[in-house]
Structure 1
Amino acid sequence: MKALQFLEKFKTPVVMGDEPDREILKMVARTALRTKLHEALADQLTDIVVNSVLCIRKPEEGIDLFMVEIMHMRHKFDVDTRLVQGLVLDHGSRHPDMKRRAENCFILTGNVSLEYEKRCSSSQLESIWN
């Protein structure tokens, strides 16, 4: 009970208006990260965490953390962590003749299948049902 009274007395309100106080957010993130990680790594991740949250933040709405994707990269070290502000496609090539690297290209992403699907005729459907 005394701990809650202490926190209520000494808390600092953070206003998340159009421009949030980035330094206060960094202090909060750094404090939380240093309880779990080495100090140097926590300090490096502080900016990444704050920038990623502010990148997806919409004023007047809650923060949807599902908009942040954490990708574990094999053969990399924890100090190689970086924030990519954009779209990361970690899919690889789909065809053996496809180039492994492309520059200055256009990429179409969609959530619908672009494969040709043969439609069933009504006579085929009748034979399936019978």
Structure 2
Amino acid sequence: PTASSVVADLVDVTRLATVDPENRVPHLAFQPDQLSDLPILSMADVETAYYLRMRVHDKPGVLADVTRILADRAISIDAMVQKEPAPGEVEANIILLTHRTLERNAIEAIEAIESLPTVSGKVTRVRLEEL
């Protein structure tokens, strides 16, 4: 046996000898009687942040329309980037990072944004999770 496994065995023996039975840490490191089922949420009730990317006409008021739609659904913006369009291009990319919000609010906002005449194509959406 390796030295680390011998030391681990000694730690286990010491721990078992010095702790009350109800406070002992089981071999799998969790108390099975403390496990409980968590409720399964529908996706509409999931709360997460989002990365949103959209292609829009490069003209005044477009960003205001997009942010108004988000505000109407209580979606707060964490960060925003709008790149200057390439020479000869009439469309620009807007990238938004949102704070945590309900999936149903995000879907409603994306559908409303996609229906704007100044937005081209679909909004790219990626859920963000902090690890």
When the two structures are superposed, what TM-score results if normalisation uses the length of structure 1?
0.22
TM-score, normalization by structure 2? 0.22
Structure whose residues are more often strand by fraction = 2
From the CA coordinates, give the structure whose radius of gyration is larger: 2
